[in-house]
Each structure stands twice: as structure tokens, then as C-alpha cells.
Structure 1
Amino acid sequence: MAQTAVERFLPDEAATGRLGEDLAMALRPGDVLALQGDLGAGKSTLARALIRALTDDEKLEVPSPTFTLVQSYEARLPVHHFDLYRLGDASELDELGFEEAVAEGAALVEWPERAADRFPPQAVVIELSHRDEGRLARISGVGAAFERVSRSLALRDFLATAGWGEATRRYLTGDASARAYETVSLPGEADRIAMNAPPLVLGPPVRDGKAYAEIAHTARTVAAFVAIDRALMAAGVSVPEIHAQDLDRGFLLIEDLGREGFLVEGKPVGERYTAAAELLAAMHDRKWSYHLPAAPGVFHDVPPFDRGAMTIEADLLLDWYVPAVAGDPASEQLRAAYRLEWGRLFDRLDGRGTTLMLRDFHSPNIIWRGERAGHDRLGIIDFQDALIGPPAYDVASLAMDARVTVPVEIERRTVDAYIAARHAAGAFDEDAFREAYAIMAAQRNSKILGIFVRLDRRDGKPAYLKHLPRIRDYLRRALAHPALAGLRDLYEAHGLLEERSL
């Protein structure tokens, strides 16, 4: 595969430092960056900026590893700084633990030509040379690491068009998708958030010639976020202001709503959950348009949470969780019985009304702003995958929060607060809602069991497995509703509610 290259002119040391930040934002475990250039070309300056950005420590001492040959740092991922100038032979890399370092983190290598034949083929090469009064950086490579670096450089260009080209970039968070978020800072300005959301890669067909994301109606571009953000803001929901957008490349510069999470010391606070339930009730009592503008001439049509989407999500339990805990794929007999029971339950939801369903309305996506009043206390930050679906789904997402154990009492108070607010707003069928809540909670938690195993087995993200006992407990709570007796019997017969270790 032919290498691709991009170039950046670096007029001064500050520009070299910003390139180090850009590279740091792109790094993932297994990446190798090879720094080439003559003495004085700026390799150490670039390496220092990259390591300080990764560790988020501007004053971190970053000595040259000329004599130690390797220096390691703990950061959001371990980074190992190699200097091979004094390397006698490429085989000495084994003594330095190069392969182990790359297996657990990222490697930044000066004088890589002394052992280039030992580097992985997807290593990214950064060649620095003198150019006029500054330096020229030529960055080349193939594969995923180079694509991430190129995208990070493009994000810097996007920030420049918004007047934030000299901003400091710091990694904030990623999520279970390919999206990533950064905090960007400029002196004298409030921090902002940069969203890096590559267009969705659909993947192979899984059913009826369609990819999973097509059937589940996963948002394909950042236009969905923009359109829904505008609709929510117009309805009085506290969502981020969008300061700049590039829909084609999937970049946004948005307001930072704050840093106080929805939880306190990692635990749910009942008053916050009831406040969020009351916000949902106000949203669900509203009439929504589902043909939403994202930019002049660009619209996002909110998809339905239809039978196909509900079914393929629930099937994730069969596709990933069952093989992991049973050691064998789900049998055709189990699949047939599973589909039959879910079909009966989905039938019960028909004709009960729909709303704008945010889909992931839970603690990681809610900012608490206690100094404010009413619904403005809640900042909502993740909603691009919103659908037209049952109101009960978002209540279940909140009250059975996948990332934290919500005690039964707080769950009850949350659901009761929602129901009370709906009753206060007008006629409301409480029994029908409680049944729909149980169905949607069971569907969502069945899906999540499959997703968390998939994140481990397919995507190499084992941290999600620690949540499985909580999700099984939530599933037991949902299946206690009389309407779900048949599904509960099926799950129990196949041991799907038993505690299992993976």
C-alpha cells in the first residue's frame, strides 16, 4: 500500500508545540511515531510537547532519553519515548522492551532509522527539516494510525477557521463509538469542546442486505447532532451552543456546559434523577417536528424506533452475550422462542404514542448545574442518535442507568416523578406507561448485555464487562412486570439471568 503524506510549516517553537498536541490527540495503544531529522531539527521539542499534552502537564520535565535510551510516562495511555542514537544493533530493541511498550501503549522514537526494519508497517513517520526561519514537518504513513493523525491535523485546521487555531488541545473523552471530544482553551476565553465525529462506517450486511447501523438507525454524520441540538435548544432544553461546524468532515466547536457530573462521588443522587425525570416529562408532553435543519439546505429526518430497530438491538444478546456465557452460539430453537416473545411485547407498544427519544439519556450524558434553576440545572450533551419512539425508553435509560447502580428506591422515585409530572400536564395512562417502561427496560438491558460483550470481544474494550452484573440486575427488575412473564420464563430456562464471569 502506497504511503500518503501531509506537510505542515512550523514557523516557530509554539507551532511545533501545537503539532505535538495534534499528534497526542490522535494516539492510541499500539501506535508508533518515528521522528526523523538532523540534530537541532526540533525532534525533542516536538516529543516534549506531545508528552506534556498526553499527561496534561505543561510543566512536566521531559528529559532526552539519549543515555537511558527509553523514558516512559503514565498518561491516558502509556507513552514510551525512545532515542536510538546510541543503539548499537537493532536487536537491542528487545532488551529495551520495545514490543512490550507498543503492546501496552504508544512509542515515540527518535533516530528510528537505526532500527527501522523492526517497526510495524503502520508506523507514522514525522520528518522534520529546516525551512526558511522555521521547520517543515512531513508526516507520512498508511493505515488507521496515519488516518487518525491526518484527521487530528484537519481538526486543527477547522479550529483555525473558527479563530481558535492557536488553542491548547486536551483529550476529554471518547465513547463506545468512533467519536472523541477535546477541551480547547484560549487565554481570555471560556473553554470550548471540540467534537471529532468521523462519518459512520456501516460495516458488513447482517440482515436483509443491510448493515446493523442501518437497521438500528444509528446517526451517520454529525448533522444529526446539529439538527437535534437546535431543536432541543428551541424547546428550552439546555444543550451546547454550536460555535462552528464542518458537517462534511464531522467537526464541531461547541459550548462547554460545565464539568460537574450527574453523580456525586460516583453514586446516584435521588434529587438529580427526579429532576431529570421531570425534564423528560416536559419534553414528552411537547409536539416535535422530525424534519430538522442542520445547515442551509441540509436536513436531518429523525428515524423511527421501528420493529426492525427494536428487534436487531434485542438480538445482540443472542449474537454476543449468549455465546460468551454458554460457550456456543444461540440455537435456532432459542432464537425462534426469543423472537416470538419479543414480537408479542412489541405488539403491545403499537398505537401508544411516540416522542423524540434521545436514546442514551443517562448519567454520562447529563451535566449538573446546581447553581441554576428548574430544567436549566440539567445540561444534555449526547443525543445525535435520537429516534421517534416510546417515551418510556428514555425513562428506563435514566432510571436503570447502565454506568452506575441505581438502587430500587431511587429508580422508583424517578419513575414516580415522571408519572406525576405527566399527570399534572394532562390526561395520562399510567398503567400503559408502566407496562411500556418494563418492556423498554428489558429491551434496552438485553441490548446492553450484548453490546458490552461485543465491545470486549470485537473492539478490545474489556472495561465494559464490569457492568454486566448491574445490567443483569436491571433486567431482573424489568422482567418482574406481569406482562413480561413469558420472556422471564424464557430467560430463566436458558440461564440468561444467572451471574456469570467472563
Structure 2
Amino acid sequence: MNALPEGLAEFIAAAGWGGAQVQPLPGDASFRRYFRLVNGDDQSAMLMHAPPPHEDPAPFLHVAHWLNSHGMRAPAILAEDAGAGWVLTEDFGNDRMRDWLDLNPDDEREAYEAAVEALAALHRLPPGPFPAYDMAVYQREAALLTEWYCPAQGITVDAQAYAAAWEEVLTPMLARQAPGVTVLRDYHAENIMLLDGRPSAPQGLIDFQDALVGHPAYDLVSLLQDARRDVAEPLEAAMLAHYEAAAGVTGEDFRADYARLGAQRNAKIVGIFTRLDRRDGKPRYLDLIPRVWAALERDLAHPALAPVARWFDANIPAQLRAVYGAFPA
């Protein structure tokens, strides 16, 4: 993986960046690779390689063009060759919200307020031309827990009853979801860039290629029940209220839907992190599971989650829910 991908030099030369210094950057939980290009004038750009057949940059390009055309701050696309997996974009710099807050913890509330306000602005737009976040998608994602986490723990569970419980829990929410908003699906502190080095800076958006049209609470859950960063419960509550004020949302239904989507997303993430270990050989994500389980337990305590909570109590022993990411050898 240390060698530069085949075709890189030809692509950047055609894009006008021939001879630029190529700096490999840390990747994510996918097959994508990232590079920073720096030319002789100290200008920089970001290069993404999303190689087929494992990756397809076309969805990223589709969402980026839509976001930028509607006043949101996705990186500008400088050059693209989707068939070969190449995308050259504007460089948003190094100030991820997560990294900024690690160094500047006193700026936490200001940064989260800005991130919440960016979501509210996105949700004031008409929904984008993306697929629907429908029951089939919610169910497929929630099932990752029974498909990966439960076998890894060596337990057999009632998957049919699990799906039925989610059907009961999510059906009331789907009626309130229409017409929907653009859901970025991975909106959290590691995917938000602070574009001028301030906690209240404009929100640079990345990692949005899986966007769907769904419920406004989903990305709020992603931000405030972050799998990768602790968000204290008082801050979560304050930012939930801040979103409601910014978006003009009122009523207990929204809070209930927030809990529904929190539980659904966190169940999915437990499954995904297990799969990254078992299938993809990336055990580092197991260390994040305790945080996700803790948020999941809080969501399950909401009355709207009662059918799913009963399933967890009947199928996943309490000691395994406490041990979290520790799997049998």
C-alpha cells in the first residue's frame, strides 16, 4: 500500500499538477486512498483514489456537485476520472473539528453550535436527488449487528424477531420523514473541516458519498452520538435543543425519532466495527465499540424503543453488552 497507485502521475499531469509533490495521507475504513499535492507555488490540492471494483467515486462527485450548487461547502472538484477512480479536489487543510477540539477543548460548544447550524441550513434546502432512506435500508443496516457482532460473540439470536421489532419501532417515524432532507450519513467531528482555523468557521464537508434522503435527526445523531469522540450528555442535550431552535422543530415526536435513529445507527456501527475486524483485518475499530454500546443503551431506554429493547434483553446477555468489544478467541 506504500507504492503510489498506477496512473497517478498521468492523471495529475492531465489536471495541470504534473511535477507536484505527492504526500500520502492516512486513509479511512475503506479502500480509498488520499494524497495531498503541493506544487512549486506552494498551492495544494487533495487527490482521492477510489479504485474500482471496490470503490466508485461517481456518488461522491454527484453529491459534491449538488452540495456546492446549493451553497454548502463540499470541496470544489478540480478534475475527475470516475472510471479510473481519480478525483482531484480543493484542499480543505488539516483543521478537522476532532483535531481542533483535542487541542482546544474550551471551544467545544462553539464548534458544535456551528456544526448544528450547518445541518439546519442543509435541512432548509429541498432534498437532493438521492435515493430514499427507506425501511429496507434501515433494516439492512440494523441487521449488521445480528450478522456480525452476535456471531463474533458466539451467540445465536432470533433475527426474524429483531427485524420485526425494528419494523414496529421505525414505522411511525417513516410517516414523519417525508418529504425528507439530504442525509450525509457520516456527519461527525472527523468529517467536518474548519476552513479558516476557527471553531465557528464555515463547515467543510467530506465523506458524504453515501447521501440519501431521510430524516433530519439522523445526521444530528451521527454528530452528537459520535462513535469516535466522547460527547458529554449535557452537551448532547444542549445541541439537540440548539438544532430544534435553529430548524424550527418542536414536539416529543422529534426527540423520539432521535432516539429511534440513535439506536438504529449505533446497532449498525457495532456491526460494522465488528465486520472491520473479522472480515477486513482492522481490529483498531473494536476499541470504539464501548462508546457506541453506551450510546445504544441510552437510546434503548427511550419508550419509543421498547420493542427493540425487549429483543436485546431477550437475546444478548447483559454480560456481553458490558464486555462490549471483547470477542472469544
Deviation at 1:200, TM superposition (A): 4.5
Q: What's the offset of the Cα at 1:372?
A: 6.5
1:35-184 alignment, distance < 5 Å? 152-184=5-37
The structure 2 residue matched to 1:224, chosen from 46, 56, 59, is 59
Unaligned runs of 5+ in 1: 1-25, 28-148, 202-219, 291-301
Q: TM-score, normalised by structure 1?
A: 0.60
5+ residue gaps, structure 2, are: none
Question: Quick one: which amino acid aligns to residue 232 of structure 1?
Answer: L
Trace 1:8-407 onto structure 2 (pairs within 5 A): 26-27=1-2, 152-201=5-54, 221-263=56-98, 264-265=101-102, 269-290=108-129, 302-325=130-153, 327-328=154-155, 330-331=156-157, 334-352=158-176, 353=178, 354-369=180-195, 377-407=202-232
Counterpart of 2:186 in structure 1: which amino acid? Answer: D
> Contact (CA 8 Å) 1:233, 1:239: kept in 2 or not?
yes
SS in 2 for 1:272: helix
2:144–2:268: 8 Å Cα contact kept in structure 1? yes
Distance 1:366 1:288 in 2: 21
Give the residue type in structure 2 aligned to 1:349: M
Q: Deviations over 1:135-192 (max 9, x none)?
A: xxxxxxxxxxxxxx6x712122100101212111111121111111111111114211
Measured after TM superposition, the shift of residue 440 of structure 1 is 0.8
Query: Scaled by the length of structure 2, what TM-score is found?
Result: 0.91
Contact 2:110/2:199, CA 8 A, preserved across alignment: no
Give 1:370 deviation, angstroms: 5.1
Letter in 2 for 1:287: P
AA partner of residue 63 (structure 2): I
More helix as a share of residues: 2
Structure 1 segments, 4+ long, off by >4 Å, are 370-374
Q: CA deviation at 1:498?
A: 2.6
Q: Tell me which residue corresponds to 1:464.
A: 285
1:252 and 1:233 map into 2 onto residues whose CA distance is: 16
SS of residue in 2 equivalent to 1:497 = helix
Partner SS for 1:269: helix
How many residues of Structure 1 are paired with residues of Structure 2 in the alignment? Answer: 317
Pair 1:483-2:328 in alignment: no
- Indicate the SS of the match to 1:254: strand
Task: Give the drift of 1:476.
Answer: 1.1
Give the alignment's Cα RMSD to 1 decimal: 1.9
| Paired amino acid for 1:355 | V
CA–CA separation in structure 2 for the residues paired with 1:403 and 1:373 = 19
Write the distance in 2 (CA, Å) between the matches of 1:487 and 1:274. 31
Looking at structure 2, the residues matched to 482 and 254 of structure 1 have their Cα atoms a distance apart, in angstroms, of 45
1:442 positional shift: 0.5
Is the Cα–Cα contact under 8 Å of residues 95 and 197 in structure 2 kept in the other structure?
no
Task: Give the SS at the match of 2:43.
Answer: coil
Return the alpha-carbon distance in structure 2 between the equivalents of residues 370 and 192 of structure 1.
16
Q: Which has the higher contact order (CA 8 A, sep 6+)?
A: 2
